[in-house]
Structure 1
Amino acid sequence: MASGLRWGVLGTADIARSQVVPAIQASTNGRVVAVAGRDPRRTADFAASFGIANTFRGYAELIASPDVDAVYIPLPNGLHVEWSLAAADAGKPVLCEKPLALTAKDARRVVDRFAAKGIPLMEGFMYRFHPQNARALELVAGGAIGTVREVRAHLSVDIMQAAASGNVRFDKALGGGSLLDMGCYAVNVVRRIFGEEPVAVMGDLDLDRTSGVDLAASALLLFSDGRSASVSSSFKANGQGTYQIIGTKGTIEVPRAFIPGMGSRAAEGLVIVVDADGHRVETRFEPVDQYRLMVEAFAGAVLSGRPVPYPARDGVDNLRVLDAIAVSAASGMRMEIKT
């Protein structure tokens, strides 16, 4: 691996085609050398588009290939566990799209397997690598807005037109629904800002009568000392991804928090701070490819033997909250979260 990390990609998902594979091919320390897919023609076209030398019909064959050092998994959510475990058993590091699994219990099983074998595993939350989000956390830690009392986070993309075309986001068996697909971002950033886990949640899901998946989700997360967060996600609203941090001495807003360019690979960032007197300061960040920053950080950790930047066990904790939101929505009751 001296010349860089040799990546294998399971599937030809849109996120792989539009974002992650271009990021890997542009990275300084890695290259996609293999792709596997169920449709030979689609897989061959995908490989040709990115100059990928090797194609495989089966995921297991790619994982077993001695030419592949690490595996990127952009498969539907419901397939993450099976193929992450297969990669772990083959000794291959994995960058897995979020969420790691459909439940915290299954995610824990995956994380424990990788930990027992000493193999790197990281969840693909690319927004964590954009400098605007690092800056927001620095401001919170530095007391720029006093003590954080409330956070509001939201992510939505209008994809309802894809419901009739077999899009996996509308397939309940494969882990579809806005909560797992987009709400996971809102929950993740809230947990990062507070630096602790919520003690209870109250959730609500807008369920589609045909598919059974949630088309929109919302929840109130309760933290210690009376602090709270509201999170929401939607397949039915215009593309937005934002969070606002409300403190005792002001607010911080990141208006393009998760997907700054809403489709563009490189987009500028913006952090807005308003103090208690109403003074507003905007900090803009040069356009960066947060996907490239993510894959370079992962590859750098694998190549050097260092821990990955964000421990995979965080994915278990994130799913514990998502599980509780789903249970609360189904029962209509507040759900306590036991850590």
Structure 2
Amino acid sequence: MTDAPFRWGLLGAARIARALIPAIREAGGEVTGVAVRDPQSARAQAFSQEWNVPVLGTYDDLIGADLDAVYNPLPNDAHLPWTLAALNAGKHVLTEKPLTLNAAQAAQLAEAAARSGRTLLEAFAYRFQPQIDRVRQIAAEELGDLRAVHGAFGFHLTNPDDFRWNAAQGGGALYDVGTYPVNLIRLLLGEPHAVTATARWTDGGPAGGVDIALSGVLEYGGALASLDCAFDWLEPAPQRLTVVGSRGTLDVNGVFNSHTHEPVTLHVTAGGRTWEDSVAPGNGYARMVAHFQRTARGQEPPLYPPQDAEAQMRVLDALYASARSGQRVTLTTSPRPA
């Protein structure tokens, strides 16, 4: 155990980094510096001044700096190479979702984390929110055997230059907003044994475009789960979860918010009565960072080890395979060979 601040470096000045900087500071960490492609650019200097964070140079400069951890919020295709570089340099790494572009890449990072003895976490901050704790508790204690789970998350992506429209950079709705309902479905039901999916594509279709919207069904034997995600839903777009069990139902909007400033309301019908459960606001980013730092220092075990991100990617792989082929896709949930 040490009283020294946990030192972070940021890869890029992405918008999400603006949420992580105050979260790191709230969790007692220190933002030592940021790296950008052009350290002399006006954008880099403005970011540095706004957040009082030094520009350490390029990505390579930051990877080689004296740091405890690296935060990687780069475009999706840059998650594998820069996370791998940071792990190999002896850094703990917090990488934005999706961890990689497929399960094979996720396995590569899991192996690198194990080999280096460093902490690797996929940055789903919403999982650390109080509303998620309450959803899981109500589902387990009030709803009986779960029969159906549905998650929906979308918004209107209007910037034509956003990397999320670029297939080569891992764009598409499923890799962005769709990761959330898939992840929460897995938190509630575990790993599916089969999926089916359909999508609407940009020009180029499933062979060369990205999914503007995707809908999927995940099969669990006794339960079915479904998701909808999109880049062309008008505001206010939903972040909705519905859970149906043998003894009741739960419905909540705003479920995927990672930093809430107002209470989140859960609507529950179970045991012959209907009620609203108000959950206090929370900062999932700060809670995620605090957990990451404690895990990296050996003070507690990881709640979500790299194998969880690998399992997440297997489901995303299967959903895309189904949407592209029009066929039902089965999954194996057996552990990878050692």
TM-score (norm 2): 0.92
Contact in 1 for aligned 2:72/2:94 (Cα 8 Å):
yes
CA displacement, residues 6-43 of structure 1 (integer Å, 9 cap, x when unaligned): 110000111112x1222223x13202111001133222
**1:287 partner amino acid:** P
**1:189 partner amino acid:** L
1:179 counterpart residue number: 174
Counterpart check, 1:233 vs 2:229: yes
2:336 counterpart residue number: none
1:63 counterpart residue number: 63
Gap runs ≥5 in structure 2: 334-338
1:253 counterpart residue number: 251
Gap runs ≥5 in structure 1: none
Deviates more, 1:177-186 or 1:210-219: 210-219
Contact in 2 for aligned 1:266/1:290 (Cα 8 Å):
no
Q: List aligned pairs for 1:1-339, cutoff 5 A.
A: 2-17=3-18, 19-25=19-25, 27-40=26-39, 41-52=42-53, 54-66=54-66, 68-142=67-141, 144-159=142-157, 161-163=158-160, 166-194=161-189, 196-209=190-203, 212-225=209-222, 227-237=223-233, 238=235, 239-259=237-257, 266-275=261-270, 277=272, 279-339=273-333
Which structure shows the bigger proportion of residues in helix conformation?
Answer: 1
Shift of 1:138: 1.3
Contact in 2 for aligned 1:7/1:72 (Cα 8 Å):
yes
**1:229 partner amino acid:** A
**RMSD over aligned Cα atoms:** 1.6
TM-score (norm 1): 0.92
SS at match of 2:280: strand
**2:3 partner amino acid:** A
Shift of 1:298: 1.1
- How many residues are matched? 325
CA displacement, residues 272-295 of structure 1 (integer Å, 9 cap, x when unaligned): 211263x22111122222111111
Inter-partner Cα distance in structure 2 for 1:287 and 1:5: 26
Shift of 1:268: 2.5
Inter-partner Cα distance in structure 1 for 2:197 and 2:69: 37
Inter-partner Cα distance in structure 1 for 2:56 and 2:152: 38
How many percent of aligned residue pairs carry the same amino acid?
36
Inter-partner Cα distance in structure 2 for 1:126 and 1:218: 23
**2:50 partner amino acid:** S
Inter-partner Cα distance in structure 1 for 2:44 and 2:296: 27
Contact in 1 for aligned 2:240/2:255 (Cα 8 Å):
yes
Inter-partner Cα distance in structure 2 for 1:335 and 1:285: 37
Contact in 2 for aligned 1:186/1:231 (Cα 8 Å):
yes
Contact in 1 for aligned 2:130/2:281 (Cα 8 Å):
no
CA displacement, residues 166-219 of structure 1 (integer Å, 9 cap, x when unaligned): 11111111101000111111111001101x211100011110116711111110
Contact in 2 for aligned 1:207/1:215 (Cα 8 Å):
yes
**2:331 partner amino acid:** I
